[in-house]
Amino acid sequence: MTEFFKTEYNSPIGKLTLVSDGKSLTGLYIEGQKYFNCPKNANQKDDLTIFCNAKNWLNDYFKGKNPSVSLPLAPFGSEFGKEIWKILQKIPYGKTTTYGEIAEQIAKKRGLKKMSAQAVGGAVGHNPISIIIPCHRVLGKNGALTGYNGGIDKKITLLKLEGTLQ
């Protein structure tokens, strides 16, 4: 059985809970977010290397920098979810995309005529590593600020921090 660890980080958008299997980051949850999957048996351990590196990444991010450090990530989820989260990781800092554009990418990759933007939205909404896997950079049709599992106000704050919104 995998042992999990957790720590907390106080950010400008509230308390964040970071979760790790000891090597990789497996979760980064915003306090009060809709889908909070921190394992109940996770032990508090603030000095793990992955946590120190993730906190440094977050420090830079919240100072308005584009962190260049690549962290080992191991999000738990379905194969479809993991496919979507890999696409999210390719959205550049300060840029956005739409659920529909991601659906088109998946459809093309799979040789399908189309893919449901709602299915993509479900996978984006269940992203277990908020901010670092930038689900906040995904917008609705015509750039609408829809859905964010941590709250739309936090999505707006993150997009403003990155210079995407005024």
Locate 90 and state its tokens: 């390719």
The residue length of the chain stands at 166
Choosing from 42, 135, 139, 159, the catalytic residue is 135
* Per-residue model confidence (pLDDT) at position 39: 73
* Share above pLDDT 90 across residues of the chain, in percent, rounded to a whole number: 68
Cα torsion for 24, 70, 163, 84, to the nearest 10°? -60
**Residue 38 known to be catalytic:** no
| Contact in structure between 124 and 99 (CB atoms under 8 Å) | yes
10-14, 25-29, 84-88, 144-148: least confidently modelled range: 144-148
Average of per-residue pLDDT values in the chain: 91
The yes-or-no verdict on residue 12 having pLDDT over 80 is: yes
- In angstroms, rounded to a whole number, what is the distance separating the alpha carbons of residues 143 and 51? 34
Q: How far apart, in whole angstroms, are the C-alpha atoms of residue 148 and residue 5? A: 25
CA distances from 37 to 15, 102, 112, 141, 158 (A): 15, 24, 32, 29, 22
pLDDT in tens, 74-127: 998 999 999 999 999 999 999 999 999 999 999 998 898 998 888 999 999 999
The C-alpha atoms of residue 131 and residue 139 are separated, in whole angstroms, by 15
* pLDDT at 141 (0 to 100): 85
For residues 4 and 42, the answer to whether their CB atoms sit within 8 Å is: yes
pLDDT of 59: 97
Query: Which structure tokens are listed for 111?
Result: 């040789």
Residue 147 has pLDDT above 80, yes or no: no
